Structure 1
Amino acid sequence: MFDTDQRPTHAPADHPALPTEKIGVLLANLGTPDNYDYWSMRRYLNEFLSDKRVIDYPSWKWQPLLQLVILSKRPFTSGAAYKSIWNHTAGESPLMTITKAQTARIAEAAEQRYGDRVMVDFCMRYGNPSTRSKLRAMIEAGCRRILFFPLYPHYAGATSATANDAFFRALMNEKWQPAARTVPAYFDQPAYIDALAQSVERAYAGLDRRPDILVCSYHGVPIRYLTEGDPYHCQCQKTTRLLKQRLGWQDTDIVTTFQSRFGPEEWLQPYTVEEVARLAQQGKKNIAICAPAFSADCIETLEEINEEIRDSFVEAGGEDFTYIPCLNDDAAHIAALAEVIDQNLQGWLS
């Protein structure tokens, strides 16, 4: 438990009590709609697709198309997709459920290591709880130093950078800003790679027949982002290479692909939905697929991979399709995240 508020030493008797100073660790994930109805989906999609980091077309060109066409239709289809994976018992999306579980377990690890000196919470870049509201709560709780941790193993302008943007904008509203740090990408951290490898090994051990190939499907971005300096593509390729080395596999045992293409531009290739069909047509009838760029299962994994991409594989003649879940709140994943946090708190805690 955190210490109660107290009057500063040597302060006058009428000085207001202040919370004991703490360090905050604010985890951040992409976000989720509050529900899967039309208006909840429209609010969420409008915030997401209006982000210049996500869609960087000029507003005069993009906003009329978004407001008049896309947001008239997409909330229905996206809402149906969310409904198919929704955690109806908790009344929330799986991403929200998993992020809460991750936060609780990281908080437990922090308490064991740091006692009551560190406060752990989470926010969402889009939707609720907002970055601004959680930052405000941490400051009110006495956090004078805050470590902001976007839960993306790989850096991309459309993920890590926009999460950091929201954090910095929230700081602009504070009269007394806390000291702040952001956590860099951890795509090549040995503990993260080991957690990935353990998840693959467990999945393979539970199968009657070894898959012909493992597909590492990463969220895609326009290929233009790579040429403009975004390191995401290179970091994804390195994760696959390190995972292959950790597993002791050959090049033919694993492949890197990219999913979730949106709009008319050329995106990073090969596209997962096309590659799994090509693999099936080449005789690889038994495949496994994982999503190393996602720290938690979400609409892109539970619906896109496990439904749409699976269908593409089966329709092309594939037989056995194994989806390996994201690391979520797996113990090895939590340990890896806690290690990253510990590295980035150096100098703030004795």
Structure 2
Amino acid sequence: MTQHTPVGVLLVNLGTPDAPTSKAVRTYLAEFLHDKRVVDLSRWIWCPVLHGVILRVRPPKVAKLYQSIWTEQGSPLLAIGKQQQQSLQQKLNEANISASVELAMTYGNPSIAAGMQALSHCKKVIVLPLYPQFSSATTASVFDRVARFAKHQWVLPEITFVRDYYDHPLYIKALAESVKNNWQTNGRGDVLLMSFHGIPKRYATNGDPYPEQCEITAKLLAEALNLNDSEWKMTYQSIFGREEWLSPFTDKTMEQLGNQGKSVDVICPGFSADCLETLEEIEEENKTTFLNAGGKNFNYIPCLNNDAAHIDALFDVVKAKLD
């Protein structure tokens, strides 16, 4: 397939602080938690709480968590994102598709505005949020920021937006292959636990399709691995605040499985790259919870990251939007 007109591809993930310091984390959290898609409370109620309490108390604690996963290349999410960008660029080049791939973050750097500006020479831009499952709190925020950038431009490219790819065959295949490869190396546990990022239950009640899409992803992965109902579970992680969130919760399920003396394999299918929520929350915090409860063996299966099968899936998602 040959594409002569330059096409832009903007890969977008959630974001990361510039450094594992209280100051950098405070700046990042301020932008993240100011987004009405993330916290939709009245600004009269939320802003005093955010600035008076959260941004005073949380940054030092969160900075320590980031310090535990920070690498020589910096934030894992950003480092892996750059690898994904380069690999997808190479894949498009090999297919003789004239394209420019940029990486952006919804919050922090590199920004969506900077990514869109870098693709200003393209007549068409495909925006690909790296969230397989759609949620108003993640995917829709990407759309908001692309629209905010476009609002101030005299000339706009054709903008195509990838809403989701939760049931894409190559995405499911990549997940299944990652599990099988991990089992070959580390052995297989009693239960495969699929942990997705949680959202308030109210969001789903208001029509957010996220939980339904997570359930479909989990069932398709279980089918691809030929698992029966007793061999896998689906849970939600990263719960905060006082309102009701989607359940069952990952940490509570870990405790239950530990009490039963099980061995567990954990995968996070909703995360396209390893980050704080997988490397610290799952591989450190939840592992400790599981083992302290009496669990036998805990095995974290990394995100798809820069795996070739993952890049094949992203390439297929992009290619479908070229026509």
Fold match, TM over 0.5?
A: yes
Shift of 1:36: 1.2
1:57-206 residue pairs with structure 2 within 5 A? 57-87=41-71, 89-90=72-73, 92-115=74-97, 117-139=98-120, 142-206=121-185
Alpha-carbon separation, structure 2, partners of 1:295 and 1:114: 26
Query: 1:43 pairs with 14, 19, 27, which one?
Result: 27
Alpha-carbon separation, structure 1, partners of 2:82 and 2:63: 22
Q: Which residue of 2 aligns with 1:331?
A: 308
2:272, 2:303 within 8 Å by CA — same for their partners in 1? yes
Tell me if 1:241 matches 2:219: yes
Alpha-carbon separation, structure 1, partners of 2:258 and 2:282: 16
Tell me if 1:259 matches 2:241: no
1:205-244 residue pairs with structure 2 within 5 A? 205-208=184-187, 210-244=188-222
Alpha-carbon separation, structure 1, partners of 2:255 and 2:43: 36
What one-letter code is carried by the residue in structure 2 that aligns with 1:327? Answer: L
Percent pairwise identity: 44
Q: Which residue of 2 aligns with 1:12?
A: none
What one-letter code is carried by the residue in structure 1 that aligns with 2:22? Answer: Y
Alpha-carbon separation, structure 2, partners of 1:153 and 1:59: 30
Tell me if 1:300 matches 2:280: no
Secondary structure at the aligned position of 1:155 is classed as: coil
2:194, 2:218 within 8 Å by CA — same for their partners in 1? yes
Secondary structure at the aligned position of 2:47 is classed as: helix
What one-letter code is carried by the residue in structure 2 that aligns with 1:81? Answer: L
What one-letter code is carried by the residue in structure 2 that aligns with 1:163? Answer: V
What one-letter code is carried by the residue in structure 1 that aligns with 2:192? Answer: L
What one-letter code is carried by the residue in structure 2 that aligns with 1:314? Answer: L
Name whichever of 156-165 and 106-115 sits farther off.
106-115
Q: Which residue of 2 aligns with 1:17?
A: none
Deviations, residues 2-33 of structure 1 (Å, cap 9, x unaligned):
xxxxxxxxxxxxxxxxxx95211111010110
Q: Which residue of 2 aligns with 1:33?
A: 17
| Greater gyration radius | 1
Structure 1 outlier segments of 4+, above 3 Å: none
Secondary structure at the aligned position of 1:34 is classed as: coil
What one-letter code is carried by the residue in structure 1 that aligns with 2:305? Answer: N
Alpha-carbon separation, structure 1, partners of 2:33 and 2:50: 8
What one-letter code is carried by the residue in structure 2 that aligns with 1:36? Answer: P
Deviations, residues 299-318 of structure 1 (Å, cap 9, x unaligned):
00000001111111011111
Structure 1 stretches of 5 or more lacking a match? 1-19
Secondary structure at the aligned position of 2:138 is classed as: helix
User: What count of residue pairs does the alignment treat as equivalent?
Assistant: 320
Shift of 1:325: 0.1
Secondary structure at the aligned position of 2:219 is classed as: helix
Deviations, residues 162-183 of structure 1 (Å, cap 9, x unaligned):
0111111111111101111101
